[in-house]
């Protein structure tokens, strides 16, 4: 086990981790301010998990939320276990060959979403009463108004928003990786995980197209929920 963990870390891994953490926090803060019903704070975590391995991804995720919570937003700190498992599952899915084409990345995002929804629900319910600072809380509030209990509303919100968020996150990480020089990618421990089976430009355009559609869906979903609550 120790050897497997060590295999995730080389010089390029240690260089990538702080860059990934910075990306997570920057994008996460922007999304938090805009109150979008997604998070997008794990793009760097997924990148590290895919390129370096599940344990490197897990460490990146956990450190991102710890540093974010200490330096910028205390509300981010309790979510470090969720971020840990996001990075771990991203690395596992990549090891199983699910980061070699856009549709497999969609599957990866969906699996990560289910993991995140399960791990985050107890934190949301017992620490925050189901209502957090994220835009997805509008959906939770709407569901609670329809008569659902806190646990059911949080779970429903998670299974509704997490796939949109995590598939978008995985696709953005995929697009960034496709844009990196092959010489750079070859230096990471798990470079073989991102050897695409079709032309990289085609995969890139498809990935960006899926991201745009998912973000538009999330925005329309939030607007509809806000309108319902206002009414």
68-99: b or e for each residue (b if 16 or more CB lie within 10 Å)?
Answer: bbeeeeebbebbbbbbbbbbbbbbbbbbeebb
pLDDT value of position 98:
95
Per domain, the residue ranges of the chain are: 2-230
Angle value at C-alpha 203, between 208 and 110, nearest 5 degrees: 70
For the chain, percent of residues with pLDDT exceeding 70: 77
Number of residues assigned to the chain: 231
| Cα gap 198→103, rounded to integer Å | 12
Kindly list the distances between the CA atom of residue 88 and the CA atoms of 76, 139, 213, in Å, as whole numbers in the listed order. 19, 28, 27
Q: Is the pLDDT of residue 188 over 60?
A: yes
pLDDT value of position 32:
82
Arithmetic mean of pLDDT, 214-227: 62
Q: Is the pLDDT of residue 227 over 90?
A: no
pLDDT value of position 125:
77
pLDDT value of position 169:
93
The mean predicted confidence, pLDDT, of the chain is 84
pLDDT value of position 154:
72
pLDDT value of position 153:
72
**Is the domain 2-230 a CATH 1.10.1760.20 member?**
yes
**Predicted confidence (pLDDT) per residue in 87-111, tens digit:** 999 999 999 999 988 889 999 999 9
pLDDT value of position 191:
92
pLDDT value of position 43:
96
Arithmetic mean of pLDDT, 75-98: 96
Q: Is the pLDDT of residue 55 over 90?
A: yes
């Amino acid at each position: 086990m120790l050897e497997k963990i060590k295999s995730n870390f080389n010089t390029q891994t240690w260089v990538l981790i702080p860059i990934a953490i910075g990306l997570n926090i920057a994008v996460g803060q922007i999304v938090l301010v805009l109150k979008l019903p997604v998070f997008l704070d794990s793009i760097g975590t997924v990148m590290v998990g895919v390129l370096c391995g599940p344990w490197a991804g897990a460490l990146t995720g956990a450190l991102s939320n710890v540093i974010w919570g200490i330096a910028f937003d205390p509300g981010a700190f309790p979510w470090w276990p969720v971020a840990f498992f996001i990075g771990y599952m991203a690395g596992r899915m990549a090891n199983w060959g699910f980061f070699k084409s856009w549709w497999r990345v969609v599957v990866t995002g969906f699996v990560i979403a289910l993991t995140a929804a399960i791990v985050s629900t107890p934190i949301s319910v017992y620490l925050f009463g189901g209502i957090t600072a994220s835009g997805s809380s509008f959906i939770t509030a709407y569901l609670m108004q329809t008569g659902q209990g806190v646990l059911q509303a949080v779970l429903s919100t998670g299974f509704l928003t997490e796939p949109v968020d995590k598939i978008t996150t995985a696709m953005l990480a995929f697009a960034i990786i496709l844009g990196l020089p092959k010489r750079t990618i070859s230096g990471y421990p798990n470079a073989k995980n991102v050897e695409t089976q079709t032309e990289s430009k085609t995969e890139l355009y498809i990935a960006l197209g899926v991201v745009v559609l998912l973000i538009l869906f999330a925005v329309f979903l939030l607007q509809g929920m806000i309108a319902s609550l206002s009414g």
